[in-house]
Chain A
Amino acid sequence: MVAKEMIEARWKLFGGALLATLIATLTDFTYSNTKEMLNSAAASQQPGSIRDYMVQMTSSFDTFIWNSWFSMSNNGGLVMVVLAVILGAGLIAGEVSKGSIFLLLSKPLSRERVLLTKYVVSAAILFAVVLFGSLVLLLVAALQGHPQNTLGMLISDLLFWFALLFALGLATLFSVIFSDVLRPLALALVVMLLVAIPGFIPGGQAWSLPTYWTSLPAYLGQSFPLKEFAVAIIAAAIPMLIALPLFRRAQY
């Protein structure tokens, strides 16, 4: 069953790895351009808070890389979240819409085993893509003379992966509920946006999940993000804990 899941997801894996490579490479090469932009006349017309944020994020190459690759509001994070949602949305709904759910459920496998196998394969694919993208980042940064903290990158990768597991779990949950792939896809993306909203409200950072999905001090090797890990792991588990009993009782 693992082999079948890998064959099914192979194009998503290749596409994700290709996008990760492109984004990682571009991120390494756009640092100086972004800094120059900040000194331009157009940037000086931006509201103070935005400009301050941009200056902070480009204060060093390392900070810029962290923000571009691991932040949910930037290219790297967004692309990975979309990949996670695409993988999860088709897990069960794809089987139902194609009719193959009947073949799968006619086998002597428990439904929990079916769902978890599919989820674990998708989670492994996401981990591989995240690691691959980070490897490219590390390599290109080193070639440009900005070697990154490898351990910090690995810890940030793990934290980022748990964020993606939350997205994957959400899409999987909706995939169990709905029989088409489009609704799980759209709903999971909407929920991902909703969990970020508290972060935009003054004093709401502590209630925003994306706050816990990335840590600059951890990336820079200054601290271990224990609290962030705890929140990210619990958040990642919740959608699957709901999806499993729902799938067990689902009628086809």
Chain B
Amino acid sequence: MSTMTAIKQEALPVTSEAEAIEINNLVVSYGDKRAVDGLSLSVPTGSVYGFLGPNGAGKTTTIKTLLGFRQPNGGSAKVLGYDIVTQSLALRARVGYVSEVNSMYDYLTIPQMADFCRATSLRWEQAAVDRYLKMFGLPLKAKVKQLSKGMKSQLAFSLAMGSQPDLLILDEPTSGLDPIARHDLLNQLVGEVAASGTTVFFSSHILSEVEAVADWVGIINAGKLVISSELDQLKSSQKVLKLIYAEAPPSAELDALHALPGVVRVDQEGRSVRITVHGDVNTLSNIVQARPYALRDVEIVDLNLEDIFLEYMKEGNNGR
């Protein structure tokens, strides 16, 4: 199998989908347990999409199902316009994948790994691989087993780029890496790849790295989508109103605050009250200040992705 003949490149229909990934009501079970439970999600073409969720939320199972490692128990999904069940081969010819585990062959050298990937890929651009290998400064004659974990991730990324993917799927690509290696891999590369027009879909539970590189985020919990939105829009739509009262407000006032439009959560600690708001925070601030309880301080605080993620997780847990 020195040359790829499994499917002819010219036989692949050229797709120009607006959505690189389109998932509709996807269900994936392990025995009786639903790991993915009615997930619906759209990933815009050309975006850098951060797929977030706590451990066991169903991120890896979703990715495995998209790539055909597992069959869905219900629902449907398309990747680059290809059905994940009936057109899996064509789909995989256009997708680059870096898994969460070290999935490379320890006994091969870097050139041998590249030869293996070239022989099993429909498209291959060795110059791109060489460029990334050089950028990372990987020792070309070394065997994979001699590389550190960070180097293995860098190699996996370099090889994934060799097949000139239209979509790059990274499953926890920086798990176990030190902060410098994480920074190198994500900030430098994902940005560069995205600039070339390739859609990047990457799962992670390290929120700071997602915030640094993603322009879209989706949060999944217990196999269900919690939210999917442009990151900027998500951040601008959610704020926290921090209030310091002259005296601790009564519980009736807290109930009244909770009933105000856009208020998602109200947390009290003594005289301090923290209100999580979806929507127009300025209007809400004016309404709160007009209420009959004296305030010493009012502050509107931007939420970072970690705050937003935690808010959604709390909401989800309270809702259950």
A100 close to B105 (CB less than 8 A): yes
**Which chain A residues in 221-252 approach chain B with CB under 8 Å?**
249, 251-252
How many angstroms from the CA of A8 to the CA of B145 in the assembled complex? 13
* In the complex, B209 has a CB within 8 A of chain A: no
* In the complex, A108 has a CB within 8 A of chain B: yes
Residues of B within 8 A of A108 (CB): 4, 6-7, 89-90, 92-93, 120-122
A7 close to B107 (CB less than 8 A): yes
CB distance from B79 to the nearest CB of A (A): 12
Residues of A within 8 A of B108 (CB): 4, 7
A103 close to B99 (CB less than 8 A): yes
B115 close to A107 (CB less than 8 A): no
How many angstroms from the CA of A8 to the CA of B120 in the assembled complex? 17
Residues of B within 8 A of A3 (CB): 2, 112, 115-116, 119
Residues of B within 8 A of A217 (CB): none
Residues of A within 8 A of B121 (CB): 107-108
B112 close to A102 (CB less than 8 A): no
B70 close to A106 (CB less than 8 A): no
Which of A42-50, A76-84, A109-117, A162-170 sits within the interface?
Answer: A109-117
**Which chain B residues in 108-140 approach chain A with CB under 8 Å?**
108, 112, 115-117, 119-122
How many angstroms from the CA of A104 to the CA of B112 in the assembled complex? 15
- Among A7, A102, A109, contact of B103 (Cβ-Cβ < 8 Å): A102
Nearest neighbor of A1 in chain B, beta-carbon distance: B1
Number of interface residues of B (CB under 8 A): 34
Residues of A within 8 A of B51 (CB): none
A252 close to B69 (CB less than 8 A): yes
How many angstroms from the CA of A103 to the CA of B121 in the assembled complex? 11
A107 close to B120 (CB less than 8 A): yes
CB distance from A148 to the nearest CB of B (A): 37
* In the complex, B71 has a CB within 8 A of chain A: yes
* In the complex, B101 has a CB within 8 A of chain A: yes
Using known A-B contacts A2-B1, A110-B6, determine if residue A105 contacts B69 with beta carbons closer than 8 Å.
yes
How many angstroms from the CA of A101 to the CA of B2 in the assembled complex? 19
* In the complex, B95 has a CB within 8 A of chain A: yes
A106 close to B116 (CB less than 8 A): no
Which 3 residue pairs of A and B lie closest in terms of their CB atoms, listed nearest first? A99-B101, A108-B93, A107-B120
Which A residues contact B (CB, under 8 angstroms)? 1-4, 7-8, 98-110, 113, 117, 249, 251-252
Could you list some 29 contacts between A and B, CB below 8 A? Answer: A1-B119, A2-B1, A7-B108, A8-B107, A98-B103, A98-B106, A99-B99, A100-B105, A101-B103, A102-B103, A105-B69, A106-B67, A106-B99, A107-B117, A107-B120, A107-B121, A108-B4, A108-B6, A108-B7, A108-B89, A108-B93, A108-B121, A109-B1, A109-B6, A113-B1, A113-B6, A117-B1, A252-B64, A252-B69
A3-B116, A108-B120 known, 17 other contacts, Cβ within 8 Å? A1-B1, A1-B116, A2-B1, A7-B108, A7-B112, A98-B106, A103-B97, A103-B103, A105-B68, A106-B95, A108-B93, A108-B121, A109-B89, A109-B120, A110-B6, A113-B1, A249-B71
